[in-house]
Amino acid sequence: MNYLRIKKNREFLKIFKRGIRVHSPALSLILFPSGTMRMGIALSKKHGKAVERNRIKRLIRESFNKNLHMLQKNWAVVVLPRVADGYSFKTFEKSFIICFKKVNGWGK
C-alpha cells in the first residue's frame, strides 16, 4: 500500500488545527481522517543541518511505508520527530508501531 505526500501549507495547517495527536518516545503523530493515505513530515532546524534532516526524513518515510499496513483506516498524517542525539530506523519503527496501536484502539 502506498501513500501520497502532503506538500501544501494549507493541508499541514488543517491537520495541525483539527487533527488527533498521538505520542511515542521518538515521534509525535497528528492524524486527520482522509479519503486516501497521505503523509507529511515537519522538521525544524533544531534537528541539524540539511544532510541530517534529509536522513531523518528518509528513515521516517521508510519505516512509515513498512508499517503502513497496521493502520485500519485512511489518514492524513503529519510526523513530528523529537530532537535526539541519534536517529535509527529501529527507533522510528518501534515508535510507529506504538502510535498505530494507539490509533487503532480508538475505534473500539
pLDDT tens digits for range 61-75:
999 999 999 998 999
Q: b/e for 53-88, b at 16 or more Cβ within 10 A?
A: beebeebbbebbeebbeebeeebbbbbbbeeeeebe
Residue 18, CA distances (Å) to 11, 12, 32, 67 in order: 11, 10, 7, 24
Domain regions of the chain by residue span? 4-106
pLDDT tens digits for range 11-56:
999 999 999 999 999 999 999 999 999 999 999 999 999 999 999 9
pLDDT tens digits for range 75-105:
999 999 999 988 999 999 999 999 999 998 8
Which of the listed CATH numbers 3.10.180.10, 3.30.230.10, 3.20.20.450, 3.40.640.10 matches domain 4-106?
Answer: 3.30.230.10
